[in-house]
Structure 1
């Protein structure tokens, strides 16, 4: 079943994806599956969202595990870990 969601990208991931937010139609059942789907869009996306990259995930503005299920209308966000100094 295809569902429409909002996907948000932050910091270096936003730069790689070329946008900060988009509406996306997906059949991905989980946030991890969505990450793989989005990584397949381009070489830059593949690097930014690669499984070995420390990407943090949020579902509806709450941190979530990769296996969190996605429902129609959800907001999924991807961002690199925050560094400070």
Structure 2
């Protein structure tokens, strides 16, 4: 399956890219994240408190993915 993965805020800065295309056998967003951490050294995506979206809808890491989906990762936002 082919997916577009987007990175926002400090994830984009840490990885030096806005997005990339990935191919693989993914069941969930967490599978995508695990591949990126392992293959691309995207250790920043190993954080416990990250947020994700599938096709622009906020979701959890156990969200299923399908061919052509857009997955996004971004850090949690805090205010004060």
Take 1:65 and 1:82, find their aligned partners in 2: how far apart are those partners?
Answer: 16
Alpha-carbon offset, residue 25 of structure 1: 1.0
**Aligned residue runs from structure 1 range 52-71, under 5 A:** 52-71=47-66
CA deviation vs aligned residue, 1:48-80 (integer Å, no higher than 9, x gap): 111x43110100000111111110100000000
Q: When the two structures are aligned, how many residues end up with a matched partner?
A: 79
Runs (5+) with no aligned partner, structure 2: none
Matched, 1:78 2:67: no
CA deviation vs aligned residue, 1:3-47 (integer Å, no higher than 9, x gap): 1111000011111222011111121210011111111121xx11x
Aligned-pair Cα RMSD in Å: 1.2
TM-score by length of structure 2 reads: 0.89
List 4+ stretches of structure 1 deviating above 3 A: none
TM-score by length of structure 1 reads: 0.84
Aligned to 1:10: 8
Runs (5+) with no aligned partner, structure 1: none
